[in-house]
Amino acid sequence: MHEQLQKDEGWRIWWKLTRPHTLTASFAPVFLGTMIALRDGHFHTGLFIAMLIASLLIQSATNMFNEYYDFKLGLDNEKSIGIGGTIVRNGIQPKTVLQLALAFYAIAFFIGIYIIVQTSWWLAIVGIVSMAIGYFYTGGPFPIAYTPFGEVVSGFVMGMLLVLISYFIQTGEVTTDAILLSVPSMFLVANIMLANNIRDILQDTKGGRKTMAILIGRENAVRVYATLFALSYIWVIALVLSQHVTPWALIVLLTIPKPLKAVRTFKQSENPLEVMPAMKNTGVTNTLFATSLGLALLIQFALS
């Protein structure tokens, strides 16, 4: 049996519930936003750690809401790919998953209060909206993830907005450079969602979802997926040429083999199990890209 379909024991049940391969969508933007702030001469360790933990908690809770509501709607079963499998394979009660998600939200809420007290009360509005989006992404009467707007929302909130919030809590402002540097993160986080939807296109169609991948077709969805990867690298090159960042930022080009492998995998197979390496490479690309760009900004700061 493929490891994705195996029952788990002990801590693995709860670890897989968080869908760890998606957590880079939280870590990478927070790291990048903080490194942009550091380049501009601002860094507060406590705020960085608090923002990182809160973001990981919200992302994990969002994944749990996904697990809970997909089960309630009958979209998940013991053969489903890419899920934690906590309910359908490991027998955990659905209400336990929901309660754990709400507990994670509660912890993130209190961490958010610390961040707000240290920075600005305006962040309370942003935080509440972000947490609401996390819930309504798969919860509520009209889940965002079941519409063609899943990639747009996840890319903007988890990609761009997380970078800008991480920058704001360090500096107290949002600059044009910070916005420009957050754009590749938006593309890459959107691609994590798009990769999931391309893999699940058959199952989602049967479940009545109307994702972008379903509406435009698998072949076109893979083209969009490849284009978003390409735009991420082209954007950084453009920032270097326009002198918004130093040529050190071009070290992100070293990460290109990962997205190339991911795109190739999707073109070679439509089998959900066989495209799992593409899912991994999508997440790894997001992590390596943001880390490389962040390190480039760190080098720029150190040499200035």
More confident residue, 98 or 268: 268
Arithmetic mean of pLDDT, 208-216: 92
Q: Is the pLDDT of residue 230 over 50?
A: yes
For 246-257, the pLDDT digits (tens) are 999 999 999 999
Total structural domains within the chain: 1
Task: Give the chain's mean pLDDT.
Answer: 88
* Separation of alpha carbons 149 and 160, rounded Å: 16
Higher pLDDT, 203 or 1: 203
Q: Which of 44-53, 138-147, 207-216, 244-253 has the lowest mean pLDDT?
A: 138-147
Q: Which of 117-131, 183-197, 249-263, 286-300 has the lowest mean pLDDT?
A: 117-131
- So what's the pLDDT on residue 228? 98
**Does the structure show a pLDDT above 70 at 66?**
yes
Query: Looking at residue 14, which CATH number applies to its domain?
Result: 1.10.600
- Does 11 have pLDDT greater than 50? yes
Average pLDDT over residues 159-186: 95
Distance, in Å, from the CA atom of 291 to the CA atom of 304, rounded to the nearest integer, reads: 20
**pTM for this prediction:** 0.86
Average pLDDT over residues 287-297: 94
**pLDDT higher for 237 or 279?**
237
Q: Per residue in 48-71, is it b (16+ CB within 10 Å) or e — as a string? A: bebbbebbbbbbbbbbbbbbbbbb
Structural domain for 203, as ranges: 3-303
Q: Does the pLDDT of residue 158 top 60, yes or no?
A: yes
Q: How confident is the model at residue 131 (pLDDT cuts 50, 70, 90)?
A: confident
